[in-house]
Structure 1
Amino acid sequence: MGFTREHDQWLSNHLKQRRGERLDALKRGHGYGNRLFVEQVWWPLAGHFQGLHPEYEVKDWRGRSYFIDILWEVGSTRIAFEVMDFGSHGKERSKYRMDLNRGLFLQSQDCTVLYISLDELKENPSFIQSALRNILYPYLSAGKSANARAERSYSKIERNLMRSAIRHHRVLRPVDAARELELHTMTVIKYCRILVEKGKFRPVARGASQRIICYEYIGTLQSPDLV
């Protein structure tokens, strides 16, 4: 199914499950900015709405309820996305202060909080998508289908690249790895991309162009895949 149909079904399911203040918060809160985020950033990255909650209710340090714009639960990990509009946050000092305090409190409760500028979302969604791809890749990889996981097998080159990354504090630069392993740089890049797909490497980008400059090994140091 396409985005519109999946989105409408996802939202409808949450509306059916809510009552009272939680229902009102969802009707009021999931507006232009939040929908733009899930359409322009979340959907291209994940392609699903599994574990994603709109206007998610949490308690602050005073025990008072408030609602996170979007919360993603993946395993035991919670990641909050807050779409920030300058008009409602930047011009009211007390609200701005409260928003930052709530974000700090959430992170003290083992919840990662990611702030998204609405202006940037409207004008340059590709930047946000690229940045979040690097942050979320390990979690998105964990959610792949069982069939995809079953297909993970590693060639000699792939194992050598993973071991090389570990020797260099988990960071692998294609040019250096090509020299070390006596391979062509493009061959190294090809297999790095394969390891990204298999959930072992994470691409690291820098600069305004978000050009990939190296890869980070995100597997375990004692993984049997290294042997």
Structure 2
Amino acid sequence: MGFTEEHDHWLSNHLKRRKGERLDALKRGHSYGNRLFVEYVWWPLVGYFQGLHPEYEVKDWRGRSYFIDLLWKVGSSRIAFEIMDYGSHGTDRSKYRMDLNRGLFLQSQDYMVLYISLDEMKDNPPFVLSTMRNVLAPYLSAGTANKRKDKSYSRIERDLMRLAIRNHRVLRPGDAARELELHNTTVIKYSRMLVDKGKFRPVARGVSPRVTYYEYIGTIQSPDLV
């Protein structure tokens, strides 16, 4: 099936499973901007709707319901897409502030939050598409990964591999420990495990055998990342 048929089937399934406020939020929220994103960015990039949730309900720091425009559950990762238009976000300072606070809160809860300009998506969709392709590259093989029965990489190992990719394939244990809020010895332990699994290469400088950093030598679209 093409985009229209797949989109309508996907949306219909979500509508059938919802009631009350969650149903109303989906009817109101999945409108022009969200539809534009899934048609001109999501569909060409991913090609399926598995794991993508429109108007996904979460609780904010006050315990109040908040609906993310689109949430992609891929492996152990949760990626939130927020479509931002100036009319609803830029002219109301209190709403703009609340949106940013919610984004910070979601990131503190281990969500990846991606903000997409509606105007940019209308005027320059190739830019948004190419940028999303780069950002989501480690997750695009998730369909294959989700079908595998064995999970040979722990969450910490996947976090270390993704962090190395974001830093041009280089992982320095001290920096990684601070960013991931882990003990330095924990980072070194799991980095050595990734060396044994063929994902990392230890790099030493000078005549000292002491490892300075680890280099990620896997593919950035490996299903082991999700």
TM-score by length of 1: 0.65
SS in 1 for 2:141: helix
Match of 2:218 in 1: 219
Q: In 2, are the aligned partners of 1:41 and 1:128 still within 8 Å (CA)?
A: yes
Match of 1:67 in 2: 67
Deviation at 1:145, TM superposition (A): 7.7
SS in 1 for 2:50: coil
Deviation at 1:142, TM superposition (A): 2.8
Match of 1:30 in 2: 30
In the aligned structure 1, how far is the partner of 2:169 from the partner of 2:97? 38
Q: Does 1:133 align with 2:164?
A: no
SS in 2 for 1:47: coil
In the aligned structure 2, how far is the partner of 1:125 from the partner of 1:146? 29
After TM superposition, the structure 1 = structure 2 runs for residues 1-227 of structure 1, keeping only pairs within 5 Å, are: 1-144=1-144, 170=169, 219=218
Q: In 2, are the aligned partners of 1:45 and 1:133 still within 8 Å (CA)?
A: yes
Which runs of 5 or more structure 2 residues have no equivalent in the other structure? 148-164, 171-198, 200-214
Question: Taking CA–CA contacts closer than 8 Å with sequence separation of 6 or more, which of the two structures ends up with the larger relative contact order?
Answer: 2
- The one-letter code sitting in structure 2 at the alignment partner of 1:170 is R
Deviation at 1:143, TM superposition (A): 2.1
Match of 1:182 in 2: none
Change (3 A) 1:111 1:14: same
Q: What RMSD in Å do the two structures reach over aligned CA positions?
A: 2.4
Cα distance per residue 1:130-180 (max 9 Å; x no partner): 001011011112323899xxxxxxxxxxxxxxxxxx9xx738xxxxxxxxx
Q: In 2, are the aligned partners of 1:85 and 1:119 still within 8 Å (CA)?
A: yes
Change (3 A) 1:116 1:105: same
SS in 2 for 1:144: helix
Q: In 2, are the aligned partners of 1:138 and 1:218 still within 8 Å (CA)?
A: no
SS in 2 for 1:63: coil
In the aligned structure 1, how far is the partner of 2:85 from the partner of 2:109? 25
Change (3 A) 1:107 1:218: farther
Change (3 A) 1:35 1:170: same
Cα distance per residue 1:21-62 (max 9 Å; x no partner): 000000000000000000000000000001000000000000
In the aligned structure 1, how far is the partner of 2:102 from the partner of 2:63? 12
Report the count of equivalent residues: 158
Change (3 A) 1:111 1:145: closer
In the aligned structure 1, how far is the partner of 2:120 from the partner of 2:80? 18
Which runs of 5 or more structure 1 residues have no equivalent in the other structure? 148-165, 172-199, 201-215
Q: State the identity as a percent.
A: 81
SS in 2 for 1:143: helix
Q: In 1, are the aligned partners of 2:72 and 2:79 still within 8 Å (CA)?
A: yes
- Kindly report structure 1 stretches of 4+ aligned residues shifted beyond 6 Å: none
